[in-house]
Amino acid sequence: MPTEQQYFDEAKSLTQYMDDMTTKKEESFSIYEKFEVPADDEFITVLKDKNPHILVITEDWCGDAMMNNAILRRISEAADIEVRAVYRDENLDLIDQYLTNGGRSIPVYLLINKDGEVISKWGPRAEKVQQYVMENREKFPPKEDPTFEETQKAFFEQMTKEFVENKDFHLAVYEDIRSNWLQALQK
């Protein structure tokens, strides 16, 4: 099986990935256009100095990826670092090494150092976003309930809207990535 660095070397740029999106593209670009990296010299400076590679495991149908990838793209542009993306469903051997609670949740961001070693994994959600999702899922009827699918569909639509419009979520994603990666890069 290829190493994470080999996956990175063969992957498409995050910019190209976003350009190639067929689902949630408009929403993802809306987030990208709205989000500005906070003035944070330390995080951006550390990224520039360490110059890690970031491998994204993603799919364009994923709401979390729709939001997080747009924010990651802004971070990468501010720090002038390379981010490349692979599709989860085409790379099950890779995603199966980075399961979240036993599931193939995405996106997953792998921070790779100059030696080609994965020094951090982030994803699929910032804690604040996870709380929002869990609190709303608690309101769902049981799966056997005839209204379950309708309730779930309505929530997914509302969640997409929140992911596009809620600047607090965008900042929470940024802060969660920042915290995780600063810690990993400063070891």
The tens-digit pLDDT sequence of the chain (187 residues) is: 899 999 999 999 999 999 999 999 999 999 999 999 998 779 999 999 999 999 999 999 999 999 999 999 999 999 999 999 999 999 999 999 999 999 999 999 999 999 999 999 999 999 999 999 999 999 999 999 999 999 999 999 999 999 999 999 999 999 999 999 999 998 8
What is the spatial distance between Cα 61 and Cα 17, in angstroms, rounded to a whole number?
Answer: 12
Tell me the pairing of strands 53-58 and 83-87. parallel
pTM above 0.85, yes or no: yes
Rounded to the nearest 10 degrees, the angle between the axes of helix 25-34 and helix 167-185 is 80
- Kindly list the domain boundaries of the chain, sorted by start residue: 4-125+174-185
Who contacts 54 (Cβ-Cβ below 8 Å, separation ≥6)?
A: 72, 76, 81, 82, 83, 84, 109, 110, 111, 112
Let me know if domain 4-125+174-185 sits in CATH 1.10.3210.10. no
Residue 121 phi, psi (nearest 5) = -125, 135
Residue identified by tokens 């990838």 is 69
